[in-house]
């Protein structure tokens, strides 16, 4: 039976996804410990608390995690920045989260990203959809930090038995705004339902789930969603006519699953091979 009185620690609570989750989980009766380096701009749900903290502060993260059944890790740098900017919150901060989970016997939901695999080319048919075991092909320093985060989860599962789910979020916004997002969009409601399923699941192990709603043109296939019993209920289809054929016009952006992140700082003269170790 799910115990909603045992707290959930939510990092990155002041971001767009953190705020959406706080609202949904608070309304569902969960007790939340919210934290972010930025002030929380909304009303804190009854029975929950907010603590302003830096993910680099391992002592505070350990204290916030005390007694928590799960850590929902949505904190850190959420877009591309120079490596030194990403390093502290996305690497050291993640270590603090996993150390807290190990100490408390908590499971971790890590907000990973499609940018951990962004240099995979977009599929031309269903047979080419990626599954959860595909190789990492990060498209930015940000995407690299997400690949690192998933590997951190593997380490803590293998070495300490810390259960974790790596949610490779596509594009989670109120609605899709271009043709790529018709494939990658994740509704806020589907995200909240996934989090609740994750917390309540009897066993998770080390798992990867594609963070997208039930979109007809998805890039992604098999994953571990059955472990938590999650099936998305929303779809990008209602926005297809509104979005139309809106694309970037950039050939690199349109070639790869990571979209515009792949084109950021891109200097190759010809595309890299599908086989990352090929010379062709």
Which residues are CB-neighbours of 103 under 8 A, at least 6 positions away?
A: 62, 65
Write out the two tokens for 74.
């949505």
Residue 154: Cβ within 10 Å count: 13
Q: Which of 91, 95, 98, 142 is the catalytic position? A: 142
Write out the two tokens for 197.
């399923």
| Residue 109 bridge partners (DSSP) | 72, 165
Per-residue b or e along 77-98, where b marks 16 or more CB atoms closer than 10 Å to that residue's CB: bbebbeeeebbebbbebbbbbb
Q: Which burial class, exposed, middle or buried, applies to 271 when counting CB atoms under 10 A from its CB (0-12, 13-18, 19+)?
A: middle
Is 156 tagged catalytic?
no
- Which of the residues are catalytic? 142
């Amino acid at each position: 039976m799910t115990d909603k009185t045992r707290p959930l620690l939510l990092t990155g609570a002041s971001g767009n996804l953190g705020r959406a989750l706080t609202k949904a989980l608070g309304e569902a009766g969960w007790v939340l410990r919210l934290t972010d380096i930025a002030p929380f701009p909304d009303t804190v749900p009854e029975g929950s608390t907010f603590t302003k903290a830096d993910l680099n502060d391992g002592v505070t993260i350990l204290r916030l995690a005390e007694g928590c059944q799960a850590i929902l890790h949505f904190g850190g740098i959420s877009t591309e920045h120079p490596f030194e900017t990403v390093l502290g919150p996305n690497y050291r901060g993640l270590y603090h989260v996993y150390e807290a989970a190990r100490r408390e016997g908590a499971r971790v939901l890590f907000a990973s990203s499609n940018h951990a695999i962004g240099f995979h080319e977009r599929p031309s048919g269903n047979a080419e959809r990626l599954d959860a075991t595909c190789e990492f092909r990060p498209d930015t320093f940000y995407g690299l930090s997400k690949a690192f985060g998933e590997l951190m989860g593997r380490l803590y599962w293998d070495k300490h038995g810390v259960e974790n789910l790596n949610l490779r979020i596509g594009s989670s916004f109120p609605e899709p705004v271009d043709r790529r997002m018709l494939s990658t969009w994740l509704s806020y409601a589907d995200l909240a339902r996934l989090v609740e399923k994750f917390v309540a699941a009897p066993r998770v192990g080390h798992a990867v789930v594609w963070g997208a709603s039930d979109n007809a043109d998805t890039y992604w296939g098999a994953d571990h969603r059955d472990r938590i019993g999650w099936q998305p209920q929303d779809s990008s289809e209602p926005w297809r006519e509104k979005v139309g054929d809106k694309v970037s016009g950039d050939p690199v952006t349109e070639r790869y699953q990571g979209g515009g992140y792949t084109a950021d700082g891109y200097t190759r003269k010809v595309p890299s091979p599908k086989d990352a170790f090929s010379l062709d």
